[in-house]
Copies of this chain bind each other. A is one copy, B any other.
Amino acid sequence: MTKEKSGVGPVVAQRAHFAAPLKLRSGGVVPAYDLVFETYGTLNAAKSNAILVCHALSGNHHVAGHYADDPGSLGWWDNIIGPGRPLDTDRFFVVGVNNLGGCHGSTGPSSINPATGKPWGADFPLMAVIDWVQAQARLADRLGIDAWAAVIGGSLGGMQALRWTITYPERIRHALVIAAAPKLTAENIAFNEVARQAILTDPEFHGGHFYEHGVKPVRGLRLARMLGHITYLSDDQMAEKFGRRLRHGKFSYDYDVEFEVESYLRYQGDKFAGYFDANTYLLMTKALDYFDPAREDDGDLTATLARTKAGFLVVSFTTDWRFSPARSKEIVHALLANGRDVSYAEIDLNSGHDSFLMADPQYHAIIDAYLKNVTL
């Protein structure tokens, strides 16, 4: 993948306003909201060729293509979308949306709260995956899409695809659930909690109302992202990529960068803290923690997935220790117990959880083959 050549070429973000209040799982309400989205390809006359791409923790609506004024601004999953690519825009109409609560244009904590005239900040209600799916359903209504040909996502995006099949079984024909899990483990929650505490205890967080103080909790956000990156990569990949390689060939015996891996983490943390909103980060980690659709059926995932009607492709990655293949198999087994049409692939890639973003030929061939069989 070269940085200059996007699959779909120049793209433009669009905005949709929803004036009706959205009732949330938490009991809270978002009185009105905007969703920012992009589309690639052409919606057919039957409106039967639409694919929704759901984003993960730090993603957004800019999934593919580039902005005309910035050739380097490739979408985060550009490698899989475009003419002749697995999400083939010669055939499909692909939609990317920034989730409610996000920080890339859709209404979220950094938006103005109409009740106060100030940024929502910590007063923005916490989101559950089902809330996003409901907001996305309204966007589908707006686009005239009765049913998605497919909903696809990795990680938290995969959880949204799964939630679609449960909440709107008539509105999704196929779900591609990648590097996901039916719920977080205690260890998953623990990592999220450390990241949250880094942000919440940053003196510049100001109880979530830092906007009004003209500061940002960059230290906390930086730590959260550094920690996140450890869980996105695999031990093997870190060993290969960095090992114990030293920045200056020898130990300096101080707290500056000594090992290359330290440099990588600091760079990733700094970069992220520069553009991402701390309240959105917190909210996304909570949505992950809350996700547990089987909770509605006393923990019986098979009962929950009995409500689904879609076909499924479930994909996991051998070196993913955040959501290991075993977690994907829980979904597969519950679907099989319901006699659902499910394909499962475990891909041997060494990029850990982040493998879902990689342009691996075997991985892409599986997505490609699955989608080629989707009738329009």
Contact = CB atoms under 8 A, between A and B. Distances in A.
Nearest to A257: B193
Nearest to A261: B186
Most chain B C-beta atoms within 10 Å of own C-beta, residue among A190, A229, A254: A190
Given A26-B253, A258-B289, A265-B193, A201 B186 contact: no
A239 interface: yes
Nearest to A235: B187
A343 interface: no
A61 to B, nearest CB: 25
Contacts of A275: none
B223 A254 contact: no
Given A183-B244, A186-B261, A255-B196, A219 B201 contact: yes
Interface in A254-272: 254-255, 258-259, 261-262, 265-266, 269
Most chain B C-beta atoms within 10 Å of own C-beta, residue among A229, A242, A282: A242
A34 interface: no
A303 interface: no
A290 B238 contact: no
B186 A244 contact: yes
A194 B290 contact: no
A251 B193 contact: no
A241 B27 contact: no
Contact of A261 (B126, B183, B189, B202): B189
Interface string A133-145: 0000000000000
A185 B262 contact: no
A249 to B, nearest CB: 12
B241 A186 contact: yes
Q: On chain A, which size bracket covers the interface? A: 35 or more
B239 A223 contact: no
A27 B250 CA distance: 13
Contacts of A126: 253-254
Contacts of A27: 253
A239 B194 contact: no
A230 interface: yes
Nearest to A295: B244
Contacts of A187: 230, 233, 235, 238-239
A253 B292 contact: no
A29 B365 CA distance: 60
A353 interface: no
Nearest to A255: B200
Given A198-B198, A290-B251, A189 B222 contact: no
Given A194-B230, A197-B222, 12 more contacts: A26-B253, A185-B239, A186-B259, A187-B233, A187-B239, A189-B259, A190-B238, A193-B262, A198-B223, A201-B223, A223-B223, A255-B282
12 contacts: A26-B251, A184-B244, A185-B243, A186-B243, A190-B229, A193-B259, A194-B223, A197-B223, A197-B265, A202-B219, A251-B290, A253-B286
